[in-house]
Structure 1
Amino acid sequence: MRECFIFSRYRRPNYTVMECLCSIFQPTNETFNFWTHFIPLFFFLHMFYNFVFNNMEVSYDHPFILPMLCFAFGVSMILAESCATHGLNCLSLQLRQTFYYMDYVALNFYGFGFAIACYYYIFPLLTVMNPTRRIWLMLPIIFNVSRIPERIWPGQFDVIGQSHQWFHLLNFLTIYDQLCYLEYGFTSLVKSPSIIPSCKEANEIG
C-alpha cells in the first residue's frame, strides 16, 4: 500500500521477519518511523525505572506509585506497538491491517493510563493545563493530518522529514511534557502528608 505524496523507498510485500528487521537499518520510508519511536521507548523505560525504583520521596511499593505505573504501561505499549507496526507491516497485507488496528488499541491504553495518573496526581491540585501543553497536544495532530511537508514537495521526503516522522517526534515531546507534569503533581502531593496516606495507612485501608 502506498501513502499520499510518498513515491519511493517502499518495501515489497511479503517480507520475511528477518528481512523486516534488516530493513530498519536501510533507507526505506519506514526506517525513521521505526527509530523515532524505538529510541523514545527506551528513554521512557529508563525514566520510569528511575521514578519507581530511585524515588527519594516514597518507596517503590507505595500504592501512590500505581497511577504512574498505569501511565508507564500505556506509554510503553503505544511506543512498542508503533515500532512493531512500522517494522513489520510488510509481512503481509492482512498483518499490516492487524498492526494498525492494534495501534489504535495501544492508543486507548495510553489515554486511559494518562487519565488515571491525572486523576490522582493533577486533579487534587486543581491545576489547569497551560497553553503550552495544549500546543503540544495539537501539533502532532496538525502534522499527521496536513501531510506537510510532503504535500508541498511530493517525493522529496520519502525517507526522512515526512509528516509522520514529525508526528512521532512531537508525540515524544508531548509524552515527555506529560511525564514532567505528572512528576510535578506527584511530588507536590507527596509533600502534603494530609493528602497522601502513608504506605502503612494505605495498606490498612486496602
Structure 2
Amino acid sequence: MPLKSYTGDKSSLLRWDEVPDDFVECFILSGYRRLHLTAQECLASIFQPTNETLNFWTHFIPLVLFVSKFYQVFFLSSDLPFHHPALLPLWCYASGVLLTFAMSCTAHVFSCRSLRLRAAFFFLDYASISYYGFASTVAYSYYLLPRLNLLDPTVMTPYLQSLGWHRVDYNMLMALYSELVLPVAFVLAVTCTVACCKSRSEDCSYPFAIRTFVFAMPLSMACPVMIESLLFDLGRKNPTLFVYFYRRYFWLLVAAFFNVSKIPERIQPGWFDIIGHSHQLFHIFTFLSIYDQMHYVEQGLEQFLKAPHTSPTLQGTIGYMVLLTVCLGLVVRKYLKGLANTKQD
C-alpha cells in the first residue's frame, strides 16, 4: 500500500508502534511523521504539531539570534576589519556555534526522508557538536587562557615554591600545555564523534548517557578556569568570566539531566509528545549555555585586543578547523558505509 503524503493533520501522524524502531524516542508515544516524506513535506511539517516541530524551532530561533549577534560583532561593533588576524579565533568559534544549530535544525526537519538519511543527518549532527567543542577551545586558547594566573609562570612559580614545590619547572609545563591544548582537543573531538556514531548501533544499551558523557569530555578544556577560581579570586578579578562561566555550566548540567533522564515524558508517557518533552528542554538549556559562553568569549576578545599575548595564525585557527572537518567527514563516511550493510529503507 503506498504511503500517504503528509497533510499536517493529526490523522497523518503515527504512533510509536507504526514507525521503524530507529524513529522511536523513549516515552514519546505519538506525533511521529511518516517515513519517505518529500523535502517539501518535511519543510511543511515544521509548521504543524508533530513531535519534531519544537525540536526544530528551539534551535532555529537561536540560530537566527546568533547570526545577528556575530554579524554585529564582526561588521558593526569592532574597529578591526572582519578579516583581521586577531578575529580568526572568533571566526572559528562563530562557525562552530552556527554549524551546530544549523545541522541540528536540518537533522530534525529531514530525518524522516529515509532511514539512511536519518542516520546521516544525526551522524553529521554529532560531528558538528564536536566541531563546536573544538572551535570553543580555539577561542579559549587565544582569548581566555593566557590571562589566567594559573597559566602564568611568573605568578605560579612563587606560589608553588611557597608550598615547597621547588623542583617544578612551571615554564616548561606551561610551554608543553600551550603546545598540546589544541592537539588534545582535536583528538577529543574526533573521539567523541566516533563514540556518538557508534552509540546508534543496535547493541548499545545506554545511547543517551554515552552521548551526554562523551560530549562532556571536551569540557575538560575549561578546567583551567575552574582551577583558577579555586586558587585565585576570579570573582573579583574577572566577574564577567566568573559569573557567565559558572552559569553556563549550570545550564549544561540541567541540559544533561533532561537528556539522560527523559523527564517529563518518563513520568507521564504521551502527555508531552508534542510540547514539553525532554529533548526540547535540552535544546533550550543548551542555547542558554552557549549564550552565556558568548558573553565571556566576547569579553576575552576585548581584552586580547588591548594586549595580545600571541598573534593568531591562519594555520593555527582556520587550518585546524579545515583538518578537523576532513577527519570528521571520514568518520561519518565510515559509519554510513557500515549502516548500508545492516539497515534497509
Using structure 1 for the length normalisation, give the TM-score: 0.90
Which residue does the alignment assign to 1:128? 225
How far residue 99 of structure 1 moved from its aligned partner, in angstroms, is 0.8
Does 1:34 pair with 2:149? no
How far residue 184 of structure 1 moved from its aligned partner, in angstroms, is 1.0
SS of match in other structure, 2:225: coil
Does 1:52 pair with 2:149? no
Pick from 116, 123, 134 the counterpart of residue 94 of structure 1: 116
Q: Which one-letter code corresponds to 1:120 in the other structure?
A: Y
Gaps spanning 5+ residues in structure 2: where? 1-22, 149-223, 227-241, 312-345
Which residue does the alignment assign to 1:204? none
How far residue 156 of structure 1 moved from its aligned partner, in angstroms, is 0.6
- Deviates further, 130-139 or 38-47: 130-139
Pick from 120, 137, 141 the counterpart of residue 256 of structure 2: 141
Pick from 283, 304, 309 the counterpart of residue 168 of structure 1: 283
Contact in 1 for aligned 2:259/2:278 (Cα 8 Å): yes
- Deviates further, 182-191 or 66-75: 182-191
Which residue does the alignment assign to 1:185? 300
Name the structure, 1 or 2, with higher relative contact order (CA <8 Å, separation 6+). 1
How far residue 94 of structure 1 moved from its aligned partner, in angstroms, is 1.0
Bigger radius of gyration among the two: 2
Q: Distance in 2 between matches of 1:57 and 1:186?
A: 12
User: 1:93-113 CA distances to partner (integer Å, 9 max, x unpaired)?
Assistant: 111111111111111111111
Q: Which one-letter code corresponds to 1:27 in the other structure?
A: P
Does 1:159 pair with 2:274? yes
Does 1:18 pair with 2:44? no
- Deviates further, 113-122 or 52-61: 52-61
Contact in 2 for aligned 1:189/1:196 (Cα 8 Å): no
Which residue does the alignment assign to 1:69? 91
SS of match in other structure, 1:54: helix
How far residue 57 of structure 1 moved from its aligned partner, in angstroms, is 4.2
Q: Distance in 1 between matches of 2:254 and 2:301?
A: 26
Q: Which one-letter code corresponds to 1:163 in the other structure?
A: S
RMSD: 1.5
How far residue 187 of structure 1 moved from its aligned partner, in angstroms, is 1.0
User: 1:69-116 CA distances to partner (integer Å, 9 max, x unpaired)?
Assistant: 001101111111101110000001111111111111111111111110
Aligned-residue identity in percent: 49
Q: Distance in 2 between matches of 1:14 and 1:169?
A: 29
Q: Distance in 2 between matches of 1:32 and 1:133?
A: 22
Q: Which one-letter code corresponds to 1:166 in the other structure?
A: L
Contact in 1 for aligned 2:142/2:310 (Cα 8 Å): no
Q: Which one-letter code corresponds to 1:153 in the other structure?
A: Q
Structure with a larger share of its residues in helix: 2
Q: Distance in 2 between matches of 1:38 and 1:152?
A: 28
How far residue 136 of structure 1 moved from its aligned partner, in angstroms, is 2.2
Contact in 2 for aligned 1:57/1:190 (Cα 8 Å): no
Q: Tell me how many residue pairs correspond in the alignment.
A: 196
Which residue does the alignment assign to 2:185? none
